[in-house]
Amino acid sequence: MEIRKLDQMFDVLGTRAKKRLVAAWAIDAHTIMAVSEAVKMGIIEGILVGDEQKIKAVCREHGIDAGTIRIVHCDNDIAAAAMAVDLINKGEGDFLMKGLLSTDRYMRAILNKEKGLMDPGAILSHVTVAEPNNYHKLLIFGDVAIIPLPDLAQKVAITNYLIKTAHFLGIDNPKVGLLAASEQTLPKIPSCADAAIISKMAQRGQIKGATIEGPLGMDLIIDKESAQIKGMNSAVCGDADCILFPNIEAGNTFYKTIVKLLKSELCAVVMGARVPCVLTSRGDSERSKLYSIALAAMLAFKS
């Protein structure tokens, strides 16, 4: 089924075999509560990697039944990240989540050449799925957090991640808008030039499974009326499922605008590693963390 609201992911996951989440250095209440909530909802199985004493103390304090979750003991955050990645590589877990350690240490464990989760040449990128309260469907976009200024190859990779995410959410032929400063093809503006190139690559079947259009301004991507006024009759205009951002500033600003100004929910996942990786921040709402766990679990199924 096509997911049109984030909480529909819970319904879908409830009907499937449970995927196993491995949380690295999961010693804080935020992480443990999010995992235990997801386990209680019956959408995943949980594995917490961290100091067993601390984890159990947090569970007692918050009335969490530690018996529903597997605990793997580790002394410190770096060892816990490595252990969590190792569990995934040994096939004991299906996707990864960050606990109380720094993003930097978490990413280093994923990116570790010998023991990490990367295949050679793979590109790590961040995909967000938002439910803006005044848009008629979900919006999938990237990269707002990992690649500051993607080059053409990285943009193609990100576009493919957006499309893959849409497919996993049951959106068969997602409409992808390639954001640029203008819908005109202005060769000296890199966002316009790259968008034109990616759009032609899609026409040639080098990017599959989606309808892709760009360069487009944000107005044309999300607002049909603007597209009509400007005489743009692409199917993507005003009905986009996915947006490729030309740089992290644009994407990150859009992300934060959705959360803070529109007061809308969203969730995110890191793609490009062998398994989906959850990367929530402390600023995220409880609901948002739960959605991110659900999104990663959805993506952990084989395509």
Partner 1 sequence: MKSLSEIAQKAKSLSRKVKIAVAMAEDANTIGAICRAAAEGFVFPILIGNKARIVELLSTQNLSMDKYEIIDLPDMTAATRESVRMVKAGEADVLMKGLVGTDKFLREVLSKERGLLPPKAVMSYTCALELPKYHKLLLVSDTAVLPAPDLDQKIAMLKYSVNMAHTLGIDCPKVALISATEKVSPGMPNTLDYALICKMAERGQIKGCTVDGPLDVFLACDPAAGDIKGVQSPIGGNADILIFPNLETANAFYKGLMLFAEGELAGLIQGTSKPVVVMSRSESENSKYYCIALSCLMAEER
Residues 15, 301: Cα–Cα separation, whole Å:
13
The one-letter code for the residue type at 85 is: V
Residue closer to partner 1, measured from CB, 99 or 150? 150
Asked whether the beta carbons of 164 and 178 are under 8 A apart, the reply is no
Told to check if 282 binds partner 1 by CB under 8 A, we report: no
Told to check if 201 binds partner 1 by CB under 8 A, we report: yes
Choice from 102, 184, 228, 281 touching partner 1 (CB under 8 A) = 184
Choice from 197, 218, 259, 262 touching partner 1 (CB under 8 A) = 197
Told to check if 93 binds partner 1 by CB under 8 A, we report: no
Buried b (16+ CB within 10 A) or exposed e, 243-273: bbbbbbebbbebbeebbeeeebbbbbbbbbb
The one-letter code for the residue type at 289 is: K
What proportions of the chain, in percent to the nearest 5, are helix, strand and coil? 40, 20, 40
Choice from 76, 206, 281, 285 touching partner 1 (CB under 8 A) = 206
For partner 1, which stretch binds (CB under 8 A), given 33-41, 125-133, 203-211, 244-252? Answer: 203-211
Q: How far is CA 186 from CA 190, 200, 260, in A?
A: 8, 15, 33
Told to check if 199 binds partner 1 by CB under 8 A, we report: yes
Told to check if 189 binds partner 1 by CB under 8 A, we report: no
Told to check if 152 binds partner 1 by CB under 8 A, we report: yes
Site of interaction with partner 1 (CB under 8 A)? 152-153, 183-185, 187, 193, 195-197, 199-201, 203-206, 215
